[in-house]
Amino acid sequence: MITLLDYGAGNVRSVINAIESLGEQVHLVKTGNDILSAEKLVFPGVGAFGNMMEILHRKNFVAPLLDYLKADRPFLGICLGLQALFEKSEEAPDVPGLGFIPGDVQRFSTDLSVPHIGWNGLNIQQPSRLFAGLEGNEKFYFVHSYHVKPATNDTVLTTTDYGYGFVSAIQKGKVIATQFHPEKSGESGLRILENFLSKDGKVAMPPEISSRTCLAKRIIACLDVRTNNSGDLVVTKGDQYDVREKGDVRNLGKPVDLARRYYEEGADEITFLNITGFRDFPLEDMPMLDVLRKTSRNVFVPLTIGGGIRDYTDKDGRTYTALEVAAKYFRSGADKISIGSNTVLVVEAHLKTGLKTGRSAIEEIARVYGNQAVVISIDPRRVYVDNPEDVQHRVIKTDIPGPNGESYCWYQCTIKGGREGRELDAVTLAQVCETLGAGEILLNCIDRDGTSQGFDLELINAVKEAVSIPVIASSGAGCPEHFLEVFKKTEAESALAAGIFHRKEVPIGQVKSELKGEVEIRV
């Protein structure tokens, strides 16, 4: 029996699913005694440092947790569960940590995008029971803006490079903690968890020890999901967002089955977009939550879900906040949520007043679950102009002239799945969202969606230059060369595709083999 410390924020479902998939049962901590009587304790932290420590205090978990750690009993901390062990964090300077390990937690100070999101390697510094059966060159999933800085090197288990080397795991006796997420790191991550759980684990040093690691570019499979005319929830795919063929919604498969297939084929991440979420209320749309629950049971890479995340009043007058909707998604197995239409309205309101209310969906969800959990999905469409002075928007000079030979364009934000264009450009939207606390941009492009003509590199460069958070390039992939092109000609951290994978034109593995040697990837 494994005891799991769930303090109520973030996706502990993934950790539970991963442990259960290895044949173990999970007992959730309800009182401090549950911590003291644990055989093995797993502490997966997600969210924000201050919020986490406050909840640990409120629930009276701090003293038993420190007693457990000081008694050198088996402990695995994950992400914030690592950071909690330190004395303090720049994320919440006035809130002390557990102070079990001398040192502090610092924000990344690098020109690279922050948060550090994606698959990166480990420079292993000591043998550990976690490493039995590993080669040493595996990549693991990271998602964080802060990293630990121990006062001394004796507890450093691994380091990872992102702009500079940072400590990515510590080991002190039986207390081990990782910055990366084993439960989201595919087979290699499951191996690490299994090593921790096993009764007679052997201490090992993997054969391949690296001295420098590199963040991989991510390949993301996207599943646009909605109900078809027969009432079945299906994965569909549009041509420039039109998902109907001869009157019915195109049906490309079942969401749970397809997600599993993409996991097995090597997708680095899977995104579900509930594309009619803008008009349905997701908490009534239980099938979508069920899809997440079932998928997260056997898909061990990050899952993002979008669609319908906004404040909502139901027919009985009960109001739900966007945070409540997001919480439901997280509890059902999502690691990140993506917000589309609502973001456009929030940014429009923000631009009018210049004020941060602290109450927008982006701000509220980021405060509880951390910036890295908030993805902004943008659905822009090109609008051509003759002269950059003709409009107030961020205009770019384009190499793809408009229908009347125009050589300038701006990217108009849309809402409701492209049905309504707004007086807001995608570059401004992305910038404002970053200031409000978004952790990543999912940059679609209605002009390219489903066309197989390749990504809109001009759009991606324009947005990427304007923000310092990671950008996911989306829409238009038609062959492996398009992925190579987007990674060579833009700074996008990841590339997302749908049709090419759904129609089985090119498997994910083939995309990766064609990138290998040219671009850092996870194999």
Which of 183, 268, 285, 493 is an active site residue?
A: 183
For residues 417 and 436, is the Cβ–Cβ distance under 8 A?
Answer: no
Single residue of 233, 429, 463, 477 touching ligand 1PR by CB under 6 A? 477
Which of 6, 224, 269, 456 is an active site residue?
A: 224
Sign of the dihedral defined by the CA atoms of residues 32, 104, 120, 458, in that order? positive
Q: Cβ atoms within 10 A of the Cβ of 520, count? A: 18
Please report which residue ranges of 332-425 form alpha helices under DSSP H: 341-353, 361-369
Q: Output the CA angle 185-18-440, nearest 5 degrees.
A: 45
Stretch that binds ligand 1PR, among 302-310, 357-365, 425-433, 485-493 (CB under 6 A): 302-310
Nearer to ligand 1PR, 266 or 417 (CB): 417
For residues 160 and 270, is the Cβ–Cβ distance under 8 A?
Answer: no
Phi, psi torsion values for 224, nearest 5 degrees:
-80, 120
Which of 181, 393, 482, 502 is an active site residue?
A: 181
Q: Pick the closest to residue 189 from 146, 239, 227, 139 (CA basis).
A: 139
Position with the least CB separation from ligand 1PR: 417
The yes or no reply on residue 475 touching ligand 1PR (CB under 6 A) is yes
Q: Could you tell me the smallest distance in angstroms from the CB atom of residue 215 to ligand 1PR?
A: 23
Sign of the dihedral defined by the CA atoms of residues 501, 473, 185, 439, in that order? negative
Sign of the dihedral defined by the CA atoms of residues 472, 107, 156, 173, in that order? negative
Nearer to ligand 1PR, 171 or 342 (CB): 342
Three-state DSSP at 102 gives strand
Nearer to ligand 1PR, 77 or 308 (CB): 308
How far apart are the C-alpha atoms of 452 and 442, rounded to whole Å? 18
Single residue of 474, 492, 493, 494 touching ligand 1PR by CB under 6 A? 474
Single residue of 47, 206, 302, 417 touching ligand 1PR by CB under 6 A? 417
Tokens of 78: 């994950």
Single residue of 183, 194, 224, 440 touching ligand 1PR by CB under 6 A? 224
Q: Could you tell me the smallest distance in angstroms from the CB atom of residue 186 to ligand 1PR?
A: 22
Three-state DSSP at 170 gives strand
The yes or no reply on residue 307 touching ligand 1PR (CB under 6 A) is yes
Looking up tokens 């976690």 gives 130
Single residue of 450, 462, 506, 508 touching ligand 1PR by CB under 6 A? 450
For residues 401 and 423, is the Cβ–Cβ distance under 8 A?
Answer: no
Single residue of 299, 498, 515, 521 touching ligand 1PR by CB under 6 A? 498
Q: Could you tell me the smallest distance in angstroms from the CB atom of residue 131 to ligand 1PR?
A: 37
Single residue of 175, 243, 327, 486 touching ligand 1PR by CB under 6 A? 243
Q: Could you tell me the smallest distance in angstroms from the CB atom of residue 282 to ligand 1PR?
A: 8
Single residue of 6, 91, 138, 379 touching ligand 1PR by CB under 6 A? 379
Nearer to ligand 1PR, 194 or 379 (CB): 379
How far apart are the C-alpha atoms of 99 and 83, rounded to whole Å? 10
The yes or no reply on residue 494 touching ligand 1PR (CB under 6 A) is no
How far apart are the C-alpha atoms of 341 and 282, rounded to whole Å? 14
How far apart are the C-alpha atoms of 86 and 99, rounded to whole Å? 5
Three-state DSSP at 509 gives helix
For residues 393 and 358, is the Cβ–Cβ distance under 8 A?
Answer: no
Q: Could you tell me the smallest distance in angstroms from the CB atom of residue 247 to ligand 1PR?
A: 15
For the chain, helix, strand, coil in percent to 5 are: 30, 30, 40
How far apart are the C-alpha atoms of 130 and 147, rounded to whole Å? 20
**224 labelled catalytic:** yes
Single residue of 11, 188, 377, 494 touching ligand 1PR by CB under 6 A? 377
How far apart are the C-alpha atoms of 366 and 326, rounded to whole Å? 11
Q: Could you tell me the smallest distance in angstroms from the CB atom of residue 401 to ligand 1PR?
A: 22
Which of 79, 222, 409, 445 is an active site residue?
A: 79
Single residue of 285, 335, 449, 458 touching ligand 1PR by CB under 6 A? 449
Q: In the range 56-85, which residues lie near ligand 1PR by CB under 6 A?
A: none
Q: Could you tell me the smallest distance in angstroms from the CB atom of residue 388 to ligand 1PR?
A: 27
- Give, to the nearest 10 degrees, the angle between helix 255-265 and helix 508-515: 30
The yes or no reply on residue 306 touching ligand 1PR (CB under 6 A) is yes
Q: Could you tell me the smallest distance in angstroms from the CB atom of residue 245 to ligand 1PR?
A: 13
Strand partners, 288: none
Cβ neighbours of residue 144 closer than 8 Å, sequence gap 6 or more: 79, 115, 116, 179, 372
- Report which secondary-structure segment, H or E, holds 172: strand 164-172
Torsion, Cα 81 83 88 90, to 10 degrees, reads: -120
Q: In the range 138-197, which residues lie near ligand 1PR by CB under 6 A?
A: none
Single residue of 74, 81, 189, 308 touching ligand 1PR by CB under 6 A? 308
**456 labelled catalytic:** no
Stretch that binds ligand 1PR, among 158-166, 238-246, 381-389, 431-439 (CB under 6 A): 238-246
Q: Could you tell me the smallest distance in angstroms from the CB atom of residue 55 to ligand 1PR?
A: 28
Which of 91, 335, 363, 379 is an active site residue?
A: 379
**379 labelled catalytic:** yes
* Chain residues that interact with ligand 1PR, rule: CB under 6 A: 222, 224, 237-238, 241, 243, 273, 275, 277-278, 306-309, 338-342, 377, 379, 417, 444, 449-450, 474-477, 497-500
Give the residue numbers marked as catalytic: 79, 181, 183, 224, 379
